[in-house]
């Protein structure tokens, strides 16, 4: 069977609205990764590879970001970011192959969410272990590993808070929440939410963004000859994770999502 062209694939695997999803599409997907994934799809849609198998592979690469980041210096930072990018690529490909083959399942949705949880956590834990200087010549400082793990826990809790809205509504016999319900009922909370959304600081604890930040900090530390900025970055991400976990919880309770 001949491989479909990109032009044939696009309307099927990128239906209207896919790139415009409020919380379901990463900015990198909109800018470049969806165009790369289309070229990969051509070689997969006529094979026996299933969407769930691609999701398993996606999660594997995402988790590999943690051990990759243990390699000191710029090489480890770059390798960690490559693993995160491979995760993102396969996160696009698995859904696109599912649309082409019309192979949809609840297990696929569940596996996709698990992969997202594990990848964000892997990058942040790996970041903390870099700061601990696990394979350096000096003393290992476990404080930074702890703070990285704390940031990872916060990233997972934030995703959990969002997902548990759907669980609570399902158990309460309510329909799927609409985007408009996310707006806080209080005008003050609504203003704070819009300000936070404009600053986008919360995105730094997501795996893709954190992996890119790690490269920048590794370059600066390479020039300095120490881990000062890596450790500063770990502390900042841990603080963001703690604050964002609390703010996100308050935002959900102050909105109509549980009404």
**210-246: pLDDT as tens digits:** 999 999 999 999 999 999 999 999 999 999 999 999 9
pTM of the model: 0.89
Q: What is the pLDDT of residue 244?
A: 92
pLDDT digits (tens, 9 = 90+) for 56-91: 999 999 999 999 999 999 999 999 999 999 999 999
CATH of the domain at 143: 1.20.120.1760
Q: Which domain holds residue 200?
A: 6-254
pLDDT digits (tens, 9 = 90+) for 95-109: 999 999 999 999 999
Q: HEC states along the chain? A: CCCCCHHHHHHHHCCCCHHHCCCCCCHHHHHHHHHHHHHHHCCCCCCCCCHHHHHHHHHHHHHHHHHHHCCCHHHHHHHHHHHHHHHHHHHHHHHHHHHHHCCCCHHHHHHHHHHHHHHHHHHHHHHHHHHCCCCCCCCCCHHHHHHHHHHHHHHHHHHHHHHHHHHHHHHCCCCCCCHHHHCCCCHHHHHHHHHHHHHCHHHHHCHHHHHHHHHHHHHHHHHHCCCHHHHHHHHHHHHHHHHHHHHHHHHHHHCCCCC
pLDDT digits (tens, 9 = 90+) for 32-43: 999 999 999 999
Say if 163 falls within a structural domain.
Answer: yes
Say if 32 falls within a structural domain.
Answer: yes
Total domains in the fold of the chain: 1
Say if 77 falls within a structural domain.
Answer: yes
Say if 259 falls within a structural domain.
Answer: no
């Amino acid at each position: 069977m001949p491989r479909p062209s990109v032009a044939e694939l696009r309307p099927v695997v990128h239906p209207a609205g896919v790139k415009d999803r409020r919380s379901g599409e990463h900015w990198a997907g909109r800018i470049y990764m969806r165009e790369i994934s289309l070229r990969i799809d051509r070689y997969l849609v006529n094979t026996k590879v299933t969407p769930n198998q691609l999701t398993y592979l996606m999660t594997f690469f995402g988790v590999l970001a943690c051990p990759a980041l243990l390699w000191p210096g710029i090489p480890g930072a770059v390798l960690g970011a490559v693993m995160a990018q491979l995760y993102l690529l396969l996160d696009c490909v698995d859904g696109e192959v599912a649309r082409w083959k019309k192979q949809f399942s609840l297990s696929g949705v569940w596996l996709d969410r698990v992969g997202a949880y594990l990848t964000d956590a892997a990058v942040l834990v790996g970041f903390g272990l870099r700061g601990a200087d696990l394979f350096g010549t000096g003393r290992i400082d476990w404080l930074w590993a702890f703070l990285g793990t704390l940031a990872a826990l916060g990233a997972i809790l934030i995703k959990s808070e969002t997902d548990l809205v759907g669980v609570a509504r399902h158990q309460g016999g309510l329909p799927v929440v609409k985007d408009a319900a996310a707006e806080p009922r209080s005008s003050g909370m609504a203003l704070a939410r819009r300000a936070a959304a404009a600053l986008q600081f919360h995105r730094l604890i997501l795996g893709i963004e954190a992996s890119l930040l790690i490269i920048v900090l590794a370059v600066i530390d390479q020039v300095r000859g120490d881990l000062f900025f890596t450790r500063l970055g770990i502390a900042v991400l841990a603080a963001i994770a703690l604050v964002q976990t609390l703010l996100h919880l308050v935002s959900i309770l102050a909105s109509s999502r549980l009404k």
